[in-house]
């Protein structure tokens, strides 16, 4: 599946004035589109991928500032994506997202595996933006 590149009209503030780039990986097309649009509205440049393998290809090609990946996906889950991303770039910023984050085992495993943050889908977008800015040192 191709990777879509979307660019915001209003760049977020950073050292060079360029928008921060985020790779968003989610197998739910509606969630992928709505979250990408919301993040773009907050000044991020958002790359999207609808599967783990497509996301890893995009990561290798684009080297985004941060990766946001759904945890529960067929074939390759978010934990495996995070492990692979960190093998290739140990200091990569990774946020794990899920609609099932209330399950204690997901939060616990994400913490043990070293996710920079976890975030429940459907939560306030401003909280996610604040988390991303904190992780990215903005």
**Tens digit of each residue's pLDDT (9 = 90 or more) over 74-115:** 989 999 999 999 999 999 999 999 876 666 577 778 888 889
The CA R_g of the chain, rounded to the nearest whole Å, is 14
Count of other CB atoms within 10 angstroms of residue 50: 19
Domains of the chain, first to last: 19-135 (3.40.50.2300)
User: Parallel, antiparallel, or unpaired for β 117-120 and 93-98?
Assistant: parallel
- Model pTM? 0.84
Q: What is the pLDDT of residues 19-70, one digit of tens each?
A: 899 999 999 999 999 999 999 999 999 999 999 999 999 999 999 999 999 9
The Cα-based distances of 100 to 35, 46, 70, 72 in angstroms read: 16, 23, 10, 8
Beta strands in the chain (DSSP E): 4-6, 21-25, 45-49, 66-70, 93-98, 117-120
């Amino acid at each position: 599946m191709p990777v879509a590149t979307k660019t915001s009209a209003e760049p977020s503030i950073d050292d060079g004035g360029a928008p921060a780039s985020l790779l968003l990986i989610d197998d739910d097309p509606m969630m992928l589109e709505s979250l990408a649009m919301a993040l773009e509205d907050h000044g991020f440049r958002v790359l999207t991928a609808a599967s783990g393998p497509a996301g890893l290809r995009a990561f290798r090609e684009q080297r985004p500032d941060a990766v946001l990946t759904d945890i529960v996906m067929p074939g390759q889950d978010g934990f495996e994506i995070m492990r692979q991303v960190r093998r290739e770039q140990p200091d990569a910023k990774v946020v794990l997202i899920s609609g099932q984050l209330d399950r204690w085992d997901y939060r616990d495993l994400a913490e043990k595996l070293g996710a920079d943050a976890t975030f429940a889908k459907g939560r306030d977008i401003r909280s996610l933006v604040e988390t991303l800015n904190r992780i990215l040192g903005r």
